């Protein structure tokens, strides 16, 4: 069985979210910052559940080295870790926004997952904004949202094999706008 590019992207975001949230959890526990540790837990919770349900453990374990659980001194910086977590959660939220748009909001079976992932996205935003000044976190958040939206859209279009170039361009514009608007809305909710 082959997986779609969009499924691979969502699985990758899931693995990244788990790995980075675990790294940030360990970092903040070492620093004695339970508030930020709680943000890391909340930001990674839906990904932990999805990863366990889909058997993504080996892929998550492979990311341990990148995010420092095995060698904390070689880990990427705290800011980069929050940015990766925001991007991963934004990517999953972009998928849900796209699914809602394509299904005219009737994707009821995804409602619980969408709500949980939106809350995780907001927790990752909150954690990033607490850890770093607004002028620094705003740039990282913007870059993460743009990267997630583009990856989600590009993956969907790659899977869409029977559309003409004109249809693909129309979908790119319409769906791209929908995804970015949904992520911007959630980012503002996360600011509150």
pLDDT digits (tens, 9 = 90+) for 44-77: 999 999 999 999 998 888 877 565 554 455 446 8
pLDDT value for 1: 39
pLDDT value for 84: 93
pLDDT value for 50: 94
Q: Indicate the burial class of 122 (C-beta count within 10 angstroms; 0-12, 13-18, 19 or more).
A: buried
pLDDT value for 28: 94
pLDDT value for 12: 94
Total number of residues shown for the chain: 192
Domain count, the chain: 1
pLDDT at 163 over 50: yes
Tokens 């540790």, residue located:
37
- Whole-model pTM: value is 0.87
- State how far Cα 165 lies from the chain centre: 29
Q: To the nearest 10°, report the CA torsion of 116, 122, 123, 127.
A: 160
3-state secondary structure of 70: coil
* Range(s) of the domain holding residue 77: 5-191
Close Cβ partners of 119 (under 8 Å, ≥ 6 residues apart): 42, 46
DSSP output for 54-82: HT-HHHHHHTHHHHTSS-GGGSPPHHHHH
pLDDT digits (tens, 9 = 90+) for 127-152: 999 999 999 899 999 999 999 999 99
pLDDT digits (tens, 9 = 90+) for 71-130: 455 446 888 899 999 999 999 999 988 887 666 555 556 778 889 999 999 999 999 999
Q: How far is 57 from 68, CA to CA, in rounded Å? A: 16
pLDDT value for 102: 66
Query: Over the range 27-43, which residues count as b (16 or more CB within 10 Å of their CB) and which as e?
Result: bbeeeeeeebbebbbbb
pLDDT at 24 over 60: yes
Residue range 153-170: mean pLDDT, rounded:
91
């Amino acid at each position: 069985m082959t997986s779609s590019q969009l499924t691979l992207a969502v699985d990758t975001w899931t693995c990244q979210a788990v790995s980075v949230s675990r790294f940030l959890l360990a970092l903040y526990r070492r620093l004695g910052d339970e508030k930020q540790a709680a943000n890391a837990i909340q930001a990674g919770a839906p990904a932990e559940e999805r990863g366990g349900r889909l058997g993504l453990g080996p892929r998550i374990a492979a990311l341990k080295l990148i995010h420092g659980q095995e060698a904390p001194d070689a880990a990427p910086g705290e800011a980069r870790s929050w940015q990766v977590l925001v991007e991963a959660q934004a990517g999953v939220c972009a998928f849900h926004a796209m699914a809602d748009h394509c299904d005219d909001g009737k994707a009821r079976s995804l409602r619980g997952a969408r709500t949980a992932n939106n809350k995780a996205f907001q927790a990752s935003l909150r954690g990033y904004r607490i850890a770093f000044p607004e002028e620094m976190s705003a740039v990282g958040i913007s870059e993460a949202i743009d990267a997630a939206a583009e990856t989600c859209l590009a993956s969907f279009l790659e899977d869409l094999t029977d559309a003409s170039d004109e249809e693909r361009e129309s979908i790119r514009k319409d769906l791209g706008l929908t995804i970015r608007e949904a992520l911007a809305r959630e980012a503002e909710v996360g600011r509150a």
